[in-house]
Chains A and B, each alone.
Chain A
Amino acid sequence: MKHLPKHLRPRWRYLVIELEAWPDAEIDRRAFQRECWYAGQNLLGDPGSAAADLTVVRFTFDDGAGSAIVRVRRGETEPARAAIACIDEIDGAAVGLRVCGISGTIRAGEENYLGRGRQDSEERNVVFGNEERVAVVRDGSADVRLDDAFAGATDLDCDFA
């Protein structure tokens, strides 16, 4: 079908989202999209999530950190923000996320809010709670591998071996 003339196209806003998880988490775009829509439906209901849209248009994730851009109808950004805040798990992996910014185009969102160069993570041996552990260290934060889980720490809590 022929696309709509410009004045009839929906006005979109793009939420730029930063994601974080434990280092062993694997999250793909489909799973994130599913959770976005579930969260929208659960919090806003069917009409609310139809109004908000919540389509994932950009997604990257690896090594426990990532970013995404979610498309939202103009005027529905606050309900969308609330729905996204309610995502706490994706495919069983705990995630933390925040909306870093909202912009009118994908490109402006990427340039304004995703520009910061991400630091690579590295595995280091650390002493945490008087025991030697392996930690995934990035930018002053350390995810310390305990026996069956991780503990979130920073360089203030660990002595690097």
Chain B
Amino acid sequence: MYEAVRAHPEGQSTVARLAKRAADYGYEGVVVRNRSGSRADYDADAIAETYGIDVVDGVEIRAETPQEASGAVGNYRTSRTIVALEGGTNALNRFAVEQAKVDVLAGPMAGDGDVNHVLAKAAVENGVRIEFDLSRALRESGGRRVRAIQSLRKLAEIVDYYDAPYVVSADPTSHLELRAPRELQALGEEIGLSGEFVADGLAEWGRVAERNRHVQSESFIEPGVERGRYEEEPR
């Protein structure tokens, strides 16, 4: 299972500290999802070797309009393993799910954002994972939390019906906000997402990373094209 974290300078803890804690908690990897403007400075290989945890280089694009987002997606796609786009308005949500270059639509229900059957179908078609952001269920209280949980439930119903791809994250900004997978599963059970659903969403980050690493590696030529043995000429 993987967790997507915001590291220093956007968050309060460095990638190494988050990775150390995440390894302690039983995660297999962390995805660094700092926003495009505040890139974390770290040595993924050294961290992976010291703490025994996979570190995935990601980015979360924050844009005001789809036009702005479109440029940023093109810029980051070749250099980062996971490209997420921060949703939160209907226009951006729509743009993200229709853009196959985007891996993850982050926080679709934040702000004025909403998801409906049209977006869910587009997400299935383009393989864009919709994020379940547990941060507000974990760290808010009162009415704001009630609304956050309501929107998570709504999202779960839509995603479940269309079998849309999804990821789950607690969106920690420091090692203190990190929670172990079992805690997130228990929270999921309480707010109406099953434990397996949460575990699967956490594991999905790892599958995205693996797939994109394969696609970006030297050995990958084109979709559907594989290097194999040549057919022998019949004599």
Question: Is A153 a contact partner of B25 (Cβ separation < 8 A)?
Answer: no
Q: A44-B190, A156-B43, A156-B47 are in contact. Are A149 and B12 (CB under 8 A)?
A: yes
Q: Are A157 and B190 interface neighbours, CB within 8 A?
A: no
CB <8 Å contact, A98 and B13: no
Residue count of chain A within 8 Å CB distance of chain B = 30
> Are B13 and A82 closer than 8 Å at their CB atoms?
no
B190 & A154 in contact (Cβ 8 Å cutoff): no
CB distance from B91 to the nearest CB of A (A): 32
Distance between A68 CB and nearest chain B CB, rounded to angstroms: 15
Whether A42 touches B141, Cβ cut-off 8 Å, given contacts A82-B190, A141-B17, is yes
With A96-B176, A151-B12, A151-B13: A156-B50 Cβ-Cβ less than 8 Å: yes
Is B221 on the interface with A (CB-CB < 8 A)? no
Q: B176 to chain A: which residues have CB within 8 Å? A: 20-22, 88, 94-96, 152
In Å, the complex CA distance between A44 and B191 comes to: 10
Complex-state Cα separation, A71 to B176, whole angstroms: 23
Q: Chain A, 21-50, contact with B by CB distance < 8 Å: what is the 0/1 string? A: 110000000000000000000111000000
Chain B residue at minimal CB-CB distance from A83: B190
| Known A-B contacts A95-B176, A98-B180, A156-B43; A82 and B12 likewise in contact (beta carbons under 8 Å) | no
Cross-chain contact A153 with B14 (CB below 8 angstroms): yes
Please report which residues of chain B, range 26-63, place their CB below 8 angstroms from some CB of chain A when the two chains form the complex: 42-43, 46-47, 50
Complex contacts, A154 vs chain B, CB 8 Å: 14, 16-17, 20
A85 within 8 A of B: yes
Interface residue A91 (Cβ < 8 Å from any Cβ of B): no
Q: How far is the CB of B127 from chain A (nearest CB, A)?
A: 31
Q: Are A157 and B187 in contact (CB under 8 A)?
A: no
User: When the two chains form their complex, are residues A86 and B13 in contact, meaning their CB atoms are under 8 A apart?
Assistant: no
Report Cα–Cα, A104/B13, bound state, in Å. Answer: 36
B179 contacts the other chain (Cβ, under 8 Å)?
yes
Residues in chain A near residue B64, CB distance under 8 A = none
A150 at the interface (CB under 8 A from B): yes
The answer to whether A157 and B182 touch (CB under 8 A), given A21-B176, A82-B187, A152-B175, is no
| Docked-complex contact A81 and B186, CB < 8 angstroms | yes
- B174 part of interface (Cβ distance < 8 Å): yes
Q: Does B139 contact A (CB under 8 A)?
A: yes
In the assembled complex, the CB of A150 is this many whole angstroms from the nearest CB of chain B, namely 7
For B42, the chain A residues whose CB sits under 8 A away are: 157
Bound Cα distance from A152 to B177, whole angstroms: 12
Q: A-contacting residues of B (Cβ < 8 Å)?
A: 8, 12-14, 16-18, 20-21, 25, 42-43, 46-47, 50, 137-139, 141-142, 145, 174-180, 182-184, 186-187, 189-190
The 5 closest A-B pairs by CB, nearest first: A152-B13, A96-B176, A85-B183, A82-B186, A152-B17
List 10 additional contacts besides A151-B13, A152-B14, A154-B17; criterion CB under 8 Å.
A82-B186, A82-B187, A85-B187, A88-B176, A96-B174, A96-B175, A96-B177, A98-B179, A99-B183, A156-B46
